[in-house]
Chain A
Amino acid sequence: MYIDGDVLELDIEMDLEEVKTLQEFIKDRLDYIEEIVLLRSKDGTPSTSALFSLLFWVKRKKPAIKIDFIESMELNLESYGMMNWIAHE
């Protein structure tokens, strides 16, 4: 996790404990964050789906925030294929 000005960079591989910490971190600084970027090392895959739930919650709290995969509703997870988000099926 790294904050560069108003851009928060997150490691896609963070685990549930890290996500809990992230929530605490974001909740106090939401006003100052304009964009959240997911970073992924080569062959890196997500560890917990809680990270994505949290990012949707953030978007709900602050609709103006830019989170790329929520804008496009998809994210290429390479070895896990394309992750598509749908409203309801």
Chain B
Amino acid sequence: MSREKLRQIFIEEANEIIEKMDVDILNYEESPSNKALLNEIFRGVHTLKGSANAFNFSHLGEFVHHFEDVLDYFRNSDVIPSSTDVDLFLESVNVIKETLCLEVEEQSELPLEYAPCLAKIQKILLHLNDTQEPENNSNNDLSIEFGNDTFFQAPTICPTEALLNKLQANEVLYKIILKLDEDIYLRGFDHFLFFKNLSHEGRILTSCWSIPEHLDEELFDVERNAIKEVSLYVASEKDVDSIADVFAFLDEEEFSIEELKAKPREVLSAVEVPKSEQPEEKEEPKKSTIVSKNFLKIDALKLDELFDSIGELVIAQNYLGENTKIKAIQDAEVTKTIENLSKITRLIQNRVMSLRMIPIRDTFDKMKRVVRDSSKKVNKPIHLMLDGEETEIDKTMVEALSDPLVHIIRNAIDHGIEASPEERLKAGKSEEGIVTLKAYHRGGNIIIEVRDDGRGINKAKVYQKALEKGIITKDEELSEAQIYGLIMQPGFSTADVISDISGRGVGLDVVKTAIEAVRGKIDINSEEGRGTTFCIVLPLTLAIIDGMIVRSNEKIFIIPTLCITESFRPQQENVHSAGGKEEFVQLRSDLLPIVRLSRVLELDDNAPSPWESTLVCIENVRGKFALLVDELVGRQQVVIKTLGGFLAKTEGVSGGAVMGNGEIALILNVEELY
């Protein structure tokens, strides 16, 4: 395996570790006595540290090294991290994320928060060094505990491999460790005296200094050396004896010299060894309480290819079933075989689809951090409740869902929940605002609800604001759902004060666009004084949709059933015309505009009467309308195919599907029909 490939694996795994760390820290905050969870966090940081150094991500390596020290202290003591400590942990995870991104892009600069956050960590460590006895520093035992001592052969800040790369021809890299006694200055020596003499023998590349000890004494004695250990890395053409001459007047215990050589094989093997072949980790109780499953990592691209092939298989199978010549064969065995093939195809299709399905738990867990951060930012105590985390959802959908959920949750906390606990108490609610995230299946779709128990949406205010902003006109009559829908219009915001996290009029329109991009939709329900629910309706998968097949002008079209509320054939007296052009149909108390599919797609000028045709009631962002088609053919799951560059921008059409008879049917984009 090439080093580049290994690097990619490291980056991928590092991202997974960081994401998990975020969630684990929040869970740990909820149950601080759970040492197993803290060990899990520590394990992630520890792995990250080793791998970062092995791949020359030096800034990341340095940061996680110090972060690891802090975690190590807490896991080995009875001290429970305070809320400020947890803030620092989470801040550190942010820095780790950003540092990784910068180092992946091979940029030399550091994240803005890198130095301040490191300083805070150092501050804790400085305090610990003075109060903590060495028995609590268990770093030495880590290799035994985790079985990956390979990563500990080089000091974190001075990765050997990076230094070896800096060597010029004929140069050798020496690691010199100075452990000078307290009386060194009185003996006329100094660390920098040796630095000076070494600089005549070669190039000093870098040095690592232990933070001075015994600093808590009231009057620190500057004449006594407080620096326990200094490691120097020197590139020199001289031999080891010449280097040793520099320290001729020191005691043997006060210095050591080591010639360093590249150890690439060891580093690579540490990454390459499959988990099952790694040294046994015997101390099960020290590992996480989270049970690890037997997973196999597969490139998502390969799954997509498999999925496409299954799509082709479904089409081929449908073709067999619909083929008139095959149907004409009056043979029970042939019929049985085709039926059997159909069953097996459906079984394979379902199983392959399930491969792409993952529980929504990870996405929900990420929202804990969003809630915590937002709650602190606007200073409102919030409790997040999760329900239905096991609900499975297409992986592509998960990725598309994350940002919209963040927006909605921030919006709920910022605008939905009352401004202060006092206001909530006055309204007869608990001091703590409650935000609920719930996922479940309904009618072939996945529903994700974000509910807050806040003040609800003030319809009159929304309506007024929309009027002021010219989003609606004065004589426009809107249903309750349409009024709530206005808050997702671009540039709309009823927030009186613009806060850090929302209220800029951007956000909810982005949410709507993002959800619609994955063929989903959002409904809003609200009750003033009781709270608001954002209901995201998503199809099970992006690759297959449940479609209503309709015929218009002898051509077959597919309408996603998610958008259809009902279909009907109207009575003649319920059809009205305005100015001889616009047609409307009375459906119970609603007057819906009639949109002729043949006219929108410019298929034919032939205009059959609505009462002799079928009207499909469709709901899009602008409201409901009745789509006039010749007839309904049936309902079917169809594999979506893209139309290619030439037809991609055809108005009213979002894709195509191969039908059982081999014909292509166009999938309608209901947003562009009216």
Q: Could you give 5 example pairs across A and B, Cβ below 8 Å?
A: A54-B222, A59-B126, A84-B62, A85-B211, A87-B126
- Judge whether B196 is part of the interface by a CB distance below 8 angstroms: yes
Is residue B195 contacting chain A, with contact meaning CB distance below 8 A?
Answer: yes
Contact of A52 among B65, B118, B129, B212 (CB under 8 A): B212
User: Roughly how many angstroms separate A85 CA and B227 CA in the complex, as a whole number?
Assistant: 10
Interface pair A23/B222, CB less than 8 Å apart: yes
Contact: B231 with A89, CB < 8 Å? yes
Q: A70-B119, A80-B195, A80-B204 are in contact. Are A19 and B155 (CB under 8 A)?
A: no
A88 to B137, CA, bound (A): 9
Complex Cα distance, B121 from A71, in Å, reads: 10
The reply to whether B222 and A82 form a contact with Cβ atoms under 8 Å apart is no
Contact A80 B129 (CB under 8 A): no
User: Interface 1/0s, chain A 7-48, versus B by CB < 8 A?
Assistant: 000000000100110010001000000000000000001111
Pair A84/B157 contact, Cβ less than 8 Å: yes
Given A52-B212, A85-B210: 15 more A-B contacts, CB < 8 Å: A16-B223, A20-B222, A48-B185, A49-B190, A52-B227, A57-B212, A73-B118, A73-B122, A80-B204, A81-B204, A82-B205, A82-B206, A84-B208, A86-B156, A89-B210
Judging by beta carbons under 8 Å apart, are A82 and B220 in contact?
no
Q: Tell me, in angstroms, the Cα distance from A80 to B386 when the chains sit together.
A: 56
- Interface size bracket, A side: 20 to 34
Nearest-CB distance from B522 to chain A (Å)?
46
Binding site secondary structure of chain B: mixed
Mask of A55-82 contacts with B, CB within 8 angstroms, 1/0:
0110110010000001111000001111
CA A46 to CA B157, docked complex, whole Å: 21
B216: A residues at CB distance < 8 A: 60
Could you tell me if A87 and B69 are in contact, using CB atoms closer than 8 angstroms? Answer: yes
Q: Are B185 and A50 in contact (CB under 8 A)?
A: yes
The answer to whether residues A16 and B69 also contact, given A71-B116, A87-B126 and a CB cut-off of 8 A, is no
Q: Is the CB of A87 within 8 A of B129?
A: yes
Q: Which 10 A-B pairs have the closest CB atoms?
A: A87-B125, A49-B191, A57-B220, A53-B212, A60-B215, A84-B157, A81-B206, A53-B226, A81-B204, A71-B119
Q: How far is the CB of B255 from chain A (nearest CB, A)?
A: 15
A1 at the interface (CB under 8 A from B): no
Determine how close the nearest CB of chain A comes to the CB of B141; give it in whole angstroms. Answer: 14
Closest to B122 in A: A73
Contacts of A87 in B (CB 8 A): 66, 69, 122, 125-126, 128-129, 210-211
Whether, in the assembled complex, A3 has its beta carbon less than 8 Å from a beta carbon of chain B, the answer is: no
B220-261, CB < 8 A from A:
220, 222-223, 225-227, 229-231, 233
Instruction: Flag if A86 contacts B210 (CB, 8 Å).
Output: yes
List chain B positions with a Cβ less than 8 A from chain A.
62, 65-66, 69, 115-116, 118-119, 122-123, 125-126, 128-130, 137, 139, 155-158, 185, 190-192, 195-196, 199, 203-212, 215-216, 219-220, 222-223, 225-227, 229-231, 233
| Minimum C-beta distance from B588 to chain A (A) | 70
- Specify which of A45, A56, A72 is in contact with B119 (CB 8 Å cutoff): A72
Contact of B126 among A16, A19, A60, A79 (CB under 8 A): A60
Contact partner of A50 among B118, B129, B130, B223, CB < 8 A? B223
Q: How far is the CA of A4 from the CA of B457 in the complex (A)?
A: 58
Distance, CA A47 to CA B192, complexed state (A): 6
| Interface pair B192/A45, CB less than 8 Å apart | yes
A83's closest neighbor in chain B, by CB?
Answer: B207
Q: Are B211 and A56 in contact (CB under 8 A)?
A: yes
Contacts of B123 in A (CB 8 A): 63
| Residues in A whose Cβ lies below 8 Å from that of B156 | 86, 89
**Contact indicator B195/A45 (Cβ below 8 Å):** yes
* Chain A residue at minimum C-beta to C-beta distance from B166: A81
| B223 with A20: CB separation less than 8 A | yes
Contact B207 A80 (CB under 8 A): yes
Rounded to whole angstroms, the CA-CA distance of A70 and B212 in the bound complex is: 12
Contact A72 B157 (CB under 8 A): no
Return chain A residues, CB-CB under 8 Å to B116.
71
- A53 touching B207, Cβ below 8 Å: no
- B69 surroundings in chain A (CB, below 8 A): 87-88
Contact A79 B204 (CB under 8 A): yes
Q: How far is the CB of B186 from chain A (nearest CB, A)?
A: 10
B149 to chain A, nearest CB (A): 15
User: How far apart sit A65 and B231, CA to CA, in the bound complex (Å)?
Assistant: 28
CB-defined contacts of B206 to chain A, threshold 8 Å: 81-84
Contacts of B185 in A (CB 8 A): 16, 48, 50
Complex Cα spacing A85 to B125, Å: 12
Cα separation A48 to B192 with both chains bound (whole Å): 6
In the complex, chain B residues whose CB is within 8 Å of the CB of A63: 123
Q: Are B207 and A81 within 8 A (Cβ)?
A: yes
Among residues of B, the one whose C-beta sits closest to the C-beta of A71 is B119
A19 touches B212 (CB 8 A): no
- B contact residues around A48 at 8 Å (CB): 185, 190-192
Separation in Å of the B168 CB from the closest CB of chain A? Answer: 15
Q: Tell me the bound Cα distance from A63 to B216 in angstroms.
A: 12
- Smallest distance from the beta carbon of B338 to chain A beta carbons, Å? 72
Provide the residues of chain A in CB contact with B203, threshold 8 Å. 81
Q: How far is the CB of B480 from chain A (nearest CB, A)?
A: 56
CB B469 to nearest CB in A, in angstroms, measures 47
A47-B192, A49-B191, A49-B227 known; A80 vs B199 contact (CB < 8 Å): yes
Q: Complex formed: what's the CA distance from A85 to B122 in Å?
A: 10
**Other-chain contact of A54, B205, B208, B220 (Cβ < 8 Å):** B220
Instruction: Indicate whether A16 sits within 8 Å of B190 (C-beta atoms), given known contacts A50-B222, A84-B157.
Output: yes
Closest to B70 in A: A87
Which residues of A lie under 8 Å from residue B199 when comparing CB positions?
79-80
Among the interface residues B65, B118, B203, B208, which one has the most CB atoms of the partner chain A within 10 A? B208
Q: Can you name the residue of chain B whose Cβ is closest to the Cβ of A27? A: B219
Nearest A residue to B194 via CB reads A49
**CA–CA, A52 to B213, complex, Å?**
12
CB within 8 A of B196: which of A45, A71, A89? Answer: A45
Which single residue of chain A is at the shortest CB-CB distance from B216? A60
Q: List chain A residues, Cβ under 8 A from B222.
A: 16, 19-20, 23, 50, 53-54
Distance between Cα atoms of A80 and B199 in the complex (Å): 7
Partner of B209, one of A54, A72, A79, A83: A83
Please report the C-alpha to C-alpha distance between residue A20 and residue B185 in the assembled complex, in whole angstroms.
Answer: 12
Instruction: Specify which chain B residues have a CB less than 8 angstroms from the CB of A47 in the assembled complex.
Output: 190, 192
Contacts of B118 in A (CB 8 A): 72-73
Most buried by B among A45, A79, A85: A85
Q: Which A residues touch B137, using CB under 8 A?
A: 88
A83→B73 CA distance, assembly (Å): 25
Give the docked Cα–Cα distance between A47 and B191 (Å). Answer: 9
CA distance A16 to B196 in the complex (A): 16
Give the most central of A50, A52, A73, A80: most B CB within 10 Å.
A50
